[in-house]
Amino acid sequence: MSNPDRNHTLSDAVLLQPVESIKGVGPRLARRLQAKGLSTIEDLLFNLPLGYLDQRGGIQISRLSVGDYVSFVATVLSGREVRYRRRKIFEVILSDGTGTVTAKWFHYGRWLTQRFRNFKGSVRVSGTLRIFGRQLEIHHPELEEIDTDVDKESGGIVPRYSPIAGVAPRAYRRIMQEVVTTFVPQVPETLPGGVRDYFELPRLQTALRQVHFPDELPKSQRGHQLSPGLRRLIFEELFFLELQIIRSQEALARETGHSMALERDFLRRVGKLLPFTLTQAQKRVMREIAADLGKKRPMNRLVQGDVGCGKTVVALLTAFIAIANGFQAALMAPTEILAHQHSINFKPYADALSIPLTLLTSRLKASEKHMRTEAIASGEARLIIGTHALIQEHVAFQRLGLVIIDEQHRFGVLQRMTLRQKGGSPHVLVMTATPIPRTLAMTVYGDLDVSVIDELPPGRTPVETRIIEAKHRKKAYDLLRSEFSQGHQAYIIYPLVEESEKSDLKDVTTMTDHLQSEVFPDIQLATLHGRMTPEEKQAIMAAFADRKLQLLVATTVIEVGIDVPDATVMVVEHPERFGLSQLHQLRGRVGRSSHRSYCLLIHEGGGVETRQRLAILEQSNDGFQIAEEDLRLRGPGDLVGIQQAGFVDLKLANLVRDANTLTAARRAALTLMQKDPDLTKPAHAAIRAKIERQSLRAAELLKTS
């Protein structure tokens, strides 16, 4: 008699096969797929299409709609390099007799100029149709030459995937056709039959075929409900996320932590050091934290608070409570800038109380890093501040009683667990200045208790936000001059460019030169971006904090961790490229004193919808209201970043659109865990195998993060 558990394990192995096992995929092509994070059959199957191209019959240019992702066949009339805004771009003029479209590339190589300078023939063009002036344009389109052979894909529904460097769209579709044909029949079912029947979900194999190569254009692309296949995959994603959260909650409930008492004399000494009194909101949150610390069960609390609400003081006081009880406290920050900022802010208090403070980052010299890790292991270091370096294998603590994680949305469940495991169930306090809507908080932070600091310290002035059209940029420069004349400082932010981060840095550098030579020749300014060394970034930030610089021209590297009270103006170029919550974070870098402060959003293009979206920031300084709107408009990905769930990325689900599916998935997960808490039944072997795969994948990601 065959063992069902063993059969599941064997069939599950098909998903772990490397991409080289696919017919036609050699070492070079495999490397290109792996560079995109596609290493196994499972990676390919769950790398779903961005959308679909309807190639059933010829679609004329004259019938195309601006704003749509379109696909049409046209003849190349000409291809040439042209001058555009102080640089060269390449453009190809295309026509099908009913209209003309100009394809433009702002970043390109010699292959493009050689291919189309003298090309005459027909091509299939795919991309988002835009209009500038009265001219139809497509930027960086997919182009496929039409040859004499009958195109097997013509006349059908063609999936459109995210671009992969060095892999033509047609070549990738052929790979996926082979994967779906050869490997999908071997993919094991993961959802119990009762769950599928109750929620009317198709089998996993059927869903994968339907999503990659549908017979009909999915209704979701025509503005209606999700296709059954996509709904099944979204349910599965949320089901496994909820399973991980439930298991994490149950594991935490079984742990025994360290009960800590409040040393009131010590806290009185700390209170005398503070140059201000706590707000009522800070006091309320401290009472909640103190109650947690007094229990045997480890604290696992999230503190949410808008920018400037005083979360850092709460973290400092909590750390001192743990240290007064004879434990070490560790604070992990997502960037070296933020870690340094915390070290600078905490040091005067630590010195006054004779508490040894150690800063640990990955960029320290080997000898310095060794000396500091020795101090941590021996217990000599009592307050430890660092980056991801704190969770590296060679870092050991003598008696870790408290873990504080700042900017929680940058870290995942697994990273919290890794640091917690270094201390034998220490208390955990996680903080974020990114307000998380309740719907999302329950899902992403389902294993945490939540506190909210909903009050700003006295003396803080709300930031005045203005939207300025690019043609009126001079108004922004006039305001900057006025603020500089009063001794104030400012930021100008440029967005990352999707096609090339290197290109973005060139743009920031170019604009710094332009601003210095033509706009503010008498102002001390500097550039700050993510590709600088930590030493360079720290030196520039120190100069800005010491008022040696008046203007910082930067990328979003300054989104968190910079506190300069004299900075009163935040200028953001191309704000349409950011989520509302990220703009709110950037805005939070100013208004950190009693000075009147401004956030100027300089936009060009984007239309009425963009203007209406940005207007939300003009009308509200409430980060939670802005976060709710961001979630509604853009989905969770833009709000909380990548990997924040730790074990499961929300690649498919939108927690506004799929709220009902989330509720159903949680109900199904709870029912399953009640019936089979350890997933030992043979019928649940595939579920257990998938959870183990996700955990292993998360562990690998953690090692390389």
Q: Render pLDDT for 35-84 as a digit per residue (tens, 0 to 9).
A: 988 999 999 999 999 888 777 666 788 888 888 888 888 888 888 888 87
Do 311 and 405 fall into the same domain? yes
Which of 33-37, 110-114, 127-131 is the least confident region?
110-114
Q: Residue 100: what pLDDT?
A: 93
What is the Cα–Cα distance from 680 to 688, expressed in whole angstroms?
8
Q: Are residues 243 and 281 in the same domain?
A: no
Percent of the chain scored above 70 by pLDDT? 83
| Comparison of pLDDT for 639 and 405, the residue scoring more | 405
Mean of the pLDDT values across residues 87-98?
Answer: 88
Task: Identify the pLDDT of residue 149.
Answer: 47
568 & 504 share domain: yes
Domain annotation covers residue 393: yes
Has residue 636 been placed in a domain?
A: no
91 part of a folded domain: yes
Band of the pLDDT at 639, cuts 50, 70, 90?
very low
Domain with residue 95: its CATH number is: 2.40.50.140
Question: How many structural domains does the chain have?
Answer: 4
Q: What is the pLDDT of residue 582?
A: 81
| pLDDT(416) > 70 | no
Alpha-carbon gap, residue 569 to 359, rounded angstroms: 31
Q: Average the pLDDT over 377-385 and give the result.
A: 95
Residue 577 has pLDDT above 90, yes or no: no
- Give yes or no: residues 528 and 413 share one domain: no
Whether 16 is covered by a domain: the verdict is yes
Asked if residue 561 has pLDDT above 50, the reply is: yes
Q: What is the pLDDT of residue 451?
A: 86
Phi and psi angles of residue 702, each rounded to the nearest 5 degrees, phi first: -65, -40
Q: Provide the pLDDT for residue 5.
A: 40
Question: Which residue type sits at 689?
Answer: A
Question: Where residue 474 falls among pLDDT bands split at 50, 70, 90?
Answer: very high
At 26, the pLDDT band (50, 70, 90 cuts) reads very high
Over residues 14-29, mean pLDDT: 91
The 10 Å CB-count burial string (b at 16+, else e) for 66-82 is eeebbbbbbebeebeee
As a whole number, mean pLDDT of residues 520-544 equals 85
Minimum mean pLDDT range among 127-141, 252-266, 357-371, 405-419: 405-419
CB 45 within 8 A of CB 186: no
**Last-in-domain residue among 601, 620, 639:** 620
Which run of H or of E encompasses 56? none
Question: Picking from 258-272, 303-317, 330-344, 434-448, which range would have the lowest pLDDT averaged per residue?
Answer: 434-448
Q: Which domain holds residue 664?
A: 4-49+184-250+658-704
Last residue within a domain, chosen from 453, 484, 511 = 453
Q: What integer is the mean pLDDT of 330-343?
A: 85
Are residues 376 and 318 part of one domain?
A: yes
Question: 305 lies in a domain?
Answer: yes
- Measured CA to CA, the distance from residue 342 to residue 481 in angstroms comes to 31
Q: Which amino acid is at 152?
A: K
At residue 152, does pLDDT exceed 50?
A: no
293 and 150 belong to one structural domain: no
Compute the average pLDDT of residues 84-112. Answer: 85
Judge whether 673 and 621 are in contact, CB under 8 Å. no
Give the least confident one: 51-55, 152-156, 342-346, 502-506.
502-506
Secondary element (H or E) of residue 171:
helix 169-182
Q: Which one has a higher pLDDT value, 307 or 700?
A: 307
Residue 326 has pLDDT above 90, yes or no: yes
What's the confidence (pLDDT) of residue 1?
Answer: 40
pLDDT at 256: 79
What's the CA angle centered on 70, arms 65 and 73, to 5 degrees?
110
- 387, 271: one domain: yes
Of the candidate ranges 110-124, 135-149, 647-661, the one whose mean pLDDT is the lowest = 647-661
Give me the chain's average pLDDT, please: 81
For the chain, counts of helices (H) and of strands (E): 24, 21
**591 within domain boundaries:** yes
Residue 642 amino acid letter: I
pLDDT tens-place string over residues 197-251: 999 999 999 999 999 998 887 665 444 468 899 999 999 989 988 888 788 777 7
Average pLDDT over residues 89-115: 86
Same domain, 492 and 602: yes
Strand partners, 480: none
Quick one: pLDDT band at residue 28, thresholds 50, 70, 90?
very high
Separation of alpha carbons 563 and 582, rounded Å: 17
Strand pairing partners for 377?
none
**Which of 175-179, 311-315, 530-534 comes out lowest in average pLDDT?**
530-534
For residues 291 and 274, state if they share a domain. Answer: yes
Alpha helix segments (H runs only) across 515-561: 534-545
The stretch 672-676 carries a mean pLDDT of 92
**Mean pLDDT lowest among 172-181, 263-272, 432-441, 638-647:** 638-647
Fill in the DSSP letter of residue 141.
-
pLDDT at 82: 87
The answer to whether position 663 is within a domain reads yes
Q: Which is more confidently placed, 337 or 620?
A: 620
CATH number reported for the structural domain that contains residue 302 in this entry: 3.40.50.300
Backbone dihedral region for residue 581 (phi beyond 0: left; psi -120 to 50: alpha; all else: beta): alpha
Share of the chain above pLDDT 90, in %: 33
118 and 216, same domain (yes or no)? no
Among 600, 620, 640, residue at a domain's last position? 620
Average pLDDT over residues 156-168: 84
CA distance 454 to 107: 45
216 and 92 belong to one structural domain? no
Q: Decide if 411 contacts 386 (C-beta within 8 A).
A: no
- 26 and 81 co-located in one domain: no
Question: Quick check: is 626 in a domain?
Answer: no
Distance CA 403, CA 328 (A): 9
Residue 641 scores a pLDDT above 60: no
* C-beta neighbour count of 331 within 10 angstroms: 27
Position 355 scores a pLDDT of 94
pTM beyond 0.75: the answer is: no
Q: Is residue 117 scored above 80 in pLDDT?
A: no
